[in-house]
Structure 1
């Protein structure tokens, strides 16, 4: 078994996705930890068959779930890789991990993987969705989950990071092939984001990451979020959707891609603004 890194995976009724992910990493022979939030399907049996150490924690949101996982699993390797159950490690990334040595990464505390996102079987290549760098690998007891976010979970590390541009993970939630699932899921997410933004308005919540336009991928995202919060509600979804379609070439993603950009870049953002307005009126 490798002594370089361990995998942690969050699950909830992932029998459709988990075998796909675990088969893509099993030959790395790395310790595997699974944090479940109450699966009622075959998820836990699948995890057990792959030799996973399993814990349970009631789900509140993704950042807090990851925070629990990082604090409660007894990881003994110097590095952790945090993956979602609907992701797959590609052969390119597999090769990078198979050759990975901690001694070759002195002074580095985190590694960004490049993600390809799929919707209804279509790779979303444009609209700002590729390349998309996610901090997924980090030093044990140094990387942590940003619990100042309600929905948009990310890992944070102090110090230097590096980006593996050719090390791809594929992300495709097959449940979202049913549009009702996608809408119900993002309707729940919109409540989390609306509550979070209201707390930011009243300084009850601040950004953990320092916003920086020309910083690392997380710093750039923090900068864009700070800009987003300053834009007028109900106008910003139109601006953002137009920007994704025209300047980020989302129109080139075809019918399925345009549907994704409309739902994720416009509909979802508009619903958040509506809920912020409703919640503010309720408070007053």
Structure 2
């Protein structure tokens, strides 16, 4: 039997100090793709060296946020393959997913511009199956040139300019961070700040709102987060969300490790987001709406570019 040829795919990966994960990500991608491009934010560890040693191309650019960085990659990298895939450095594709993409991509009609994949979360070696965390569907593969990134500070999605998407459920891509719990909390503290920037900036009208996603699942998730959760009282909503996720959506079935995950991600993170929103709202109440952007730069070293602002 002749070997199956690789589909024509380029992978784009964003990195900053990912020496713990980048080799795993790249090595497991090569059976699927013909080219890997790493866009690095001037890592101070061995990320760039490892990536180049494993055959990836590396570009470097200062980091603002994931959406800005990835859109820059889409606009800058001369991708000549038929398809493009996005992965984070701490993610990788399962062999079953790779085999499925090998078989399915060449057969898709021209009307299909994007492919939605199923994400599996592994935390401290345990697959998190409950509490709304499996399956999570995300558009991660698209025909080159047919997609863009929502310009949000957090929770950005890949969106298609036109055409349909299909969902692949044979095999998953896996999100498995190998860092310590200290690494995890530092990373999610940064995420909480970005959530605050998006929420407060949009609520006071200084950041332009993105249209709702066209994908049904992504749109419903955005409605729940922004309209239902976002409209509930600060702090109380974090408690209610944890109760919903851990008890009503059976997060307790994920065992002791699952409890840590659901508590930290479903309660601690969202409580931290609320505390940062509260802090920002107090600043605005005391010093006015116009103080938000200077305060953001002074306290968090975050600058929102002029093209993101509502005048």
Q: Could you say whether these structures have the same fold, taking a TM-score greater than 0.5 normalized by the shorter chain as the test?
A: yes
Q: Secondary structure in 1 aligned to 2:39? A: strand
Matched, 1:151 2:146: no
Kept in 1: contact 2:6–2:31 (CA 8 A): no
Offset at residue 211 of structure 1 (A): 6.1
**Gapped regions of structure 1 (runs ≥ 5):** none
1:112 to 103, 106, 116: 116
CA distance in 2, matches of 1:124, 1:46: 29
- Going from structure 1 to structure 2, the CA distance change for 1:49 and 1:97 (only over 3 Å counts) comes to farther
Structure 1 runs, 4 residues or longer, greater than 4 Å off = none
Structure whose CA Rg is larger: 2
Kept in 2: contact 1:238–1:266 (CA 8 A): yes
User: How large is the RMSD of aligned CA atoms in angstroms?
Assistant: 1.8
Q: What TM-score do you get using the length of structure 1 for normalisation?
A: 0.92
1:8 corresponds in structure 2 to 12
Matched, 1:47 2:48: no
Deviations 1:30-75 (A, max 9, x none): 1111101112222212221232221111112111111111111000
- Structure 1 segment 1-284 matched on structure 2, within 5 A: 2=6, 4-102=8-106, 104-147=108-151, 149-157=152-160, 158-175=162-179, 178-205=180-207, 207-210=209-212, 216-225=216-225, 226-284=227-285
Offset at residue 129 of structure 1 (A): 0.4
> How many residues are aligned here?
279
CA distance in 1, matches of 2:236, 2:13: 37
Offset at residue 7 of structure 1 (A): 0.7
Q: Secondary structure in 2 aligned to 1:106? A: coil
**Gapped regions of structure 2 (runs ≥ 5):** 286-311
Q: Secondary structure in 1 aligned to 2:205? A: coil
Offset at residue 202 of structure 1 (A): 2.0
Q: What TM-score do you get using the length of structure 2 for normalisation?
A: 0.84
Kept in 2: contact 1:24–1:88 (CA 8 A): yes
CA distance in 2, matches of 1:131, 1:169: 11
Offset at residue 271 of structure 1 (A): 1.3
